[in-house]
Every structure is written in C-alpha cells, then in structure tokens.
C-alpha cells in the first residue's frame, strides 16, 4: 500500500475496477480509504 499512497500524491484521479465475481475485498477497501485520505477523485465500477 505504501507504493499506492506515494502514487496518489501525483495523480489527478483514480479508477478502481471491482470484479463482479470476487466482489469487494479487503485491499479494495484499503485503496478506497487511501484515495479518500489523499482527496483523490475516484470512480468505481
């Protein structure tokens, strides 16, 4: 997750793709929280 947090600092936005088969997993929640913490606009599908 440290790599992701460093990347979020320079991104204008993020797109999270969630598998319909596997659903929301723990890592998905962590990424959503990281986006919120860095005020990174995001779209989930």
Asked if residue 24 has pLDDT above 80, the reply is yes
CA 19 to CA 1: how far, in whole Å?
19
Q: Any residues with CB less than 8 A from the CB of 45 and at least 6 apart, and which?
A: 15, 16, 17, 18
Can you give the pTM of this predicted structure?
0.68
Its domain, for residue 20, covers 2-44
Model confidence at 19, pLDDT cuts 50, 70, 90, reads: confident
Number of domains in the chain: 1
Average pLDDT, the chain: 84
CA 13 to CA 40: how far, in whole Å?
5
Asked if residue 44 has pLDDT above 80, the reply is no
Model confidence at 45, pLDDT cuts 50, 70, 90, reads: low
């Amino acid at each position: 997750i440290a790599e992701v947090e460093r990347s979020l600092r320079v991104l204008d936005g993020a797109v999270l793709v969630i598998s319909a088969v596997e659903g929301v997993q723990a890592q998905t929640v962590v990424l959503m929280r990281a986006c919120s913490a860095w005020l990174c606009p995001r779209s989930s599908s």
